[in-house]
């Protein structure tokens, strides 16, 4: 507390506000990847309201740039190779690497540190354990470079405790290495008009429907990105496991329709999942439940999705970031995962929701998916209380991580 007050006092006496360069915005075909950036920006706005933030994105297409500027009108954007980025390197005090599946922009952190000598921190990442070629010299060199980048960071917040343990095992020595929630928990983008229009058109009443999200083992990016080649190995694995991974979701939909007055909305988190939902859920459901099930046939941006989720009674499925955004708003959310994903899903255990986390590769877990979804639907008060407790823990950690950043900015200002 004393450190926080000292930081605030230093900012108050400084004529120059702290300036942060946020490295984020990895892609826009997934509402979760979109959500990372506004989530971290919301946390910064809440806890460092005087800070000037410049976003260094990888990609801002599909209307996402306009979406961010509407929500954060003071935000500066500095794209690669631009004069704005050169200026940000000169003027910003600190580089903050946003949430992601790894240290996504590792080379950029090295470049920043070598060119400016200024500090950086890493916020809400998973540290994936590579399963192939782990003993090769090339792999060992790559891992050593990653450990060095982690060690050079002023802080690293991992979004799941398994990643934190792995970093320590590998010898990373950053001064602060702790659990820190994925930035998407704080994403508060909204598009109430679109959401309400969609819900009304499909007969979905507030608090009387659940959302369900399908997912294949590997995202078939080759179906939506021209530069991504078809991967026969990943495709074969998807085909092998898609029935296995969606049968419990279908059964849960049937039980919810049978035993409650709720409807179910089958909706996407990325651009590939509308087709998956149609094939693996809608087309395989019994006809006598279809009048209470809605399929969303098109992709949506994060604001509309969040505005739908907060009007629902909860969410379940095979994705991660829609549940994250739900819990960030106190909406119950059940996560199903499998071996091909990183350890990020284990964050549900870290925030007290371990009994809402299920592994499709575990026969024991699979048996519990349907009754747990049904329990969430039948006892909304208890489910909301559970979600609210997890949300409170996440918000506490957000405050604590921002105290660390404040201290670093205070130190940077004195350099």
**Is the pLDDT higher at 165 or at 129?**
165
pLDDT of residue 144: 86
The per-residue DSSP string of 47-87 comes to H-TT-EEEEEES--TTTHHHHHHHH-TT-EE--TTSHHHHH
Domains of the chain: 2-186+393-414 (3.40.50.2000), 192-378 (3.40.50.2000)
Q: What is the pLDDT of residues 369-380, one digit of tens each?
A: 999 999 999 999
24 HSE (CA, 13 A, CB side): 33
Please check the confidence at residue 73 and state whether its pLDDT lies above 60.
Answer: yes
pLDDT band of residue 8 (cuts 50, 70, 90) is very low
pLDDT of residue 239: 98
Q: What is the pLDDT of residues 14-38, one digit of tens each?
A: 568 999 999 999 999 999 999 999 9
Q: Which two tokens stand for residue 148?
A: 């060095």
Q: Which long-range contacts (CB under 8 A, 24 or more apart) does 231-237 make?
A: 237/340
pLDDT of residue 388: 98
Q: Which residues pair with 154 in a beta bridge?
A: none
pLDDT of residue 412: 65
């Amino acid at each position: 507390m004393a450190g926080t007050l000292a930081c605030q006092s230093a900012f108050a006496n400084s004529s120059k506000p702290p300036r942060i360069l946020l490295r984020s915005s990895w892609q826009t075909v997934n509402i979760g990847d979109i959500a990372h950036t506004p989530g971290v920006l919301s946390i910064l706005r809440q806890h460092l309201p005087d800070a000037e933030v410049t976003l260094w994105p990888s990609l801002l297409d599909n209307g996402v740039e306009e979406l961010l500027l509407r929500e954060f009108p003071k935000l500066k954007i500095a794209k690669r190779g631009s004069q704005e980025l050169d200026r940000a390197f000169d003027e910003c005090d600190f580089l903050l690497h946003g949430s992601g599946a790894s240290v996504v922009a590792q080379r950029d952190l090295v470049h920043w540190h070598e060119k400016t000598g200024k500090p950086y921190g890493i916020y809400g990442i998973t540290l994936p354990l590579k399963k192939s070629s782990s003993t090769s010299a090339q792999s060992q060199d790559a891992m050593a470079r990653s450990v060095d980048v982690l060690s050079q960071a002023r802080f690293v917040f991992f979004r799941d405790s398994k990643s934190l343990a792995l970093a320590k095992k590998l010898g990373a020595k950053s001064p602060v290495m702790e659990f820190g929630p994925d930035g998407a928990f704080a994403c508060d983008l909204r598009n109430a008009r679109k959401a309400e229009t969609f819900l009304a058109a499909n007969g979905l009443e507030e608090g009387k429907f659940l959302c369900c999200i399908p997912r294949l083992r590997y995202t078939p990016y080759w179906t939506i990105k021209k530069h991504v080649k078809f991967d026969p190995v990943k495709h074969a694995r998807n085909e092998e496991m898609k029935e296995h991974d969606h049968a419990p979701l279908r059964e849960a939909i049937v039980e919810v329709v049978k035993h409650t007055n709720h409807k179910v909305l089958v909706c996407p988190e990325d651009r590939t999942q509308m087709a998956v939902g149609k094939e693996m859920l809608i087309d395989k459901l019994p006809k006598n439940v279809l009048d209470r099930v809605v399929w969303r046939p098109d992709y949506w941006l994060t604001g509309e999705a969040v505005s739908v989720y907060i009007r629902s009674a909860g969410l379940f499925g095979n994705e991660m970031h829609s549940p994250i955004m739900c819990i960030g708003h106190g909406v119950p959310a059940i996560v199903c995962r499998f071996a091909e994903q990183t350890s990020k899903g284990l964050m549900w255990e870290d925030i007290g929701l371990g009994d809402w986390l299920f592994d499709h590769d575990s026969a024991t877990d699979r048996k519990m998916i349907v009754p747990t979804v049904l329990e969430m639907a039948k006892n909304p008060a208890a489910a909301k209380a559970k979600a609210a407790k997890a949300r409170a823990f996440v918000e506490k950690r957000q405050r604590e991580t921002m105290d660390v950043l404040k201290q670093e900015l205070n130190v940077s200002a004195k350099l």
